[in-house]
Amino acid sequence: MPDKITIGGVSVDTRHWIGGQRVASAETFSDSSPIDGGTLGEIARGGPAEADAAVAAARDAFPAWAATPRAERARILHAIADGVEKRIEDLAIVETTDNGALLRSHRRGVMPRVAHNFRFFADWLLSLEHEDFDTRGHRNHVSWDPAGPCVLITPWNAPLMLATWKVAPALAAGNTVVLKPAEWSPLTASLLADIAAAAGLPAGVLNVVQGYGAEIGDALTSHPDVRRISFTGSVPTAKHIAASAAANLTPLSLELGGKSPLLVFADADLDLAVDLAVEQYDNAGQVCLAATRILVEDTIAEEFTRRFVDKATTLRQGDPRDEATDIGPNIHARQLEKIDGFVQRALEAGARAVTGGHRGDGQYYAPTLLTDVAQDSEIVQEEVFGPVLTLQTFTTEDEAVALANGTRFGLAATLATGDPERAERVTARLVAGTVWVNCFFVRDLQAPFGGSRLSGVGREGGTWSFDFYCDLKNTVTAPNGFTDHG
């Protein structure tokens, strides 16, 4: 099999990147495009041997990188950001072809955010400090020490942006990294390895390995030389990773699924509320933060639904490379089957499809809104991860909060109201890592990000990222405790 494939004129190496070199595997796996289902290429399929090699490379590179002054680490991260910005078009076309998200979004938002991830954590590193404090005359000094090799396992819905959300702070902290991208969208991680090497990142500091979770993933998460594991993905996989990590007490950061609510009160700006609701179809519904449960005060439910349908039916579904497209395909035929299974079971149980409720051509699923759903039903309780929303009504504020909190998840929540006092009351009662009031998907890298309940463990962002990727140390020095031997 060839070592490189060409996507939209962009050459992508299909081998692993380990210790500053391209490494092939005896076996491969097929990577296909969700746009038309066609095979893009055969990708190196790693296993325990490649996992051991990558962790060894990260372990060997760690002492020198950890000892690299902060300013030099920051300079290299900025150089990586420069490299990303020079290749935004390449990265955009490859990722759109590989995972089906909109090309216009990759060009204008996602890939610039990739560069920003590196710049932000490079700059935050230079300002990272805790003010010394006194204990009975003793000086306390807090420092952030690099932890060691980190395994970062990333999802397929926003491959490079979510990978660099982890890679950037891990490298800034002085750690070395083994990145394992999702097998359904591995290609831009390979390009990142090229960009990092060109920026001067030393060999072994960033390693990229590809393959299946049950093969190379298990070998990575159970490895005794790994000091941190960060994972974004499903709850069942997270439980498996946690069990693997437990033998070595490897610290974990887990950003998992969501079943987030959008609460719409009668005093809300209805046009804004409808816009927020329709926005949940972004990326074909493949967004962990999406407010897939629309909760509307009963007095405005009929008007809200009418306006929602009017707006949703104007969305254009099609080839994500077309600038006019609003909704692209779902990532894989297996995911499409999963989405349709949820919808058909809900319809059989008595739900009504106000819009959608069926497949389109290929790997496209019609944007769907289901009503007449029970709070304890599967479609309300389980993450679908597709363009499928449910609508329920409420009468009182207490009922709205109970419905919003009535799942096992707690990743995010969105609230539409014209009453600031209500906003304050309700947000205080919502179980969620992030709450948006009259807005959606406004994220700042200095804010803590993560979920409650089954939506995750831990928080990352700003100093919280360094708290996770470092061993925090407090040094206590006695007053006048040094003897002058001069």
- Residue 255 a catalytic site member: yes
- Helix, strand, coil percent content, the chain, rounded in steps of 5: 40, 25, 35
**Residue of 50, 288, 297, 460 with catalytic role:** 288
Residue (of 61, 157, 52, 59) closest to 102 by Cα position: 157
Question: 425 φ, ψ to 5°?
Answer: -65, -50
Concatenating the DSSP letter of every residue in 189-224 gives HHHHHHHHHHTTPPTTSEEE--S-IIIIIHHHHT-T
CB 205 within 8 A of CB 149: no
- How many CB atoms lie under 10 A from the CB of residue 247? 10
- How many CB atoms lie under 10 A from the CB of residue 216? 26
Could you say which DSSP state residue 439 is in?
-
Question: 213 φ, ψ to 5°?
Answer: -60, -40
**Residue of 255, 297, 383, 460 with catalytic role:** 255
- How many CB atoms lie under 10 A from the CB of residue 442? 8
- Contacts for 394 with CB less than 8 Å, ≥ 6 apart: 295, 296, 297, 298, 400, 403
Give the C-alpha distances (Å, rounded to integers) separating 181 from 77, 248, 273, 329: 20, 23, 35, 20
Joined together, the tokens standing for residue 189 give: 């991680």
Which 3 state secondary structure label does DSSP give 129? coil
Longest alpha-carbon distance in the chain: 87
- Contacts for 53 with CB less than 8 Å, ≥ 6 apart: 18, 19, 23
Where residue 137 falls (left for φ over 0; alpha for ψ -120 to 50; beta otherwise) is left
Joined together, the tokens standing for residue 91 give: 């990265």
- ∠ Cα 104 311 369 (to 5°): 100
- Contacts for 114 with CB less than 8 Å, ≥ 6 apart: 84, 91, 160, 161, 164
- Residue 439 a catalytic site member: no
CB 97 within 8 A of CB 8: yes
Active-site positions?
255, 288
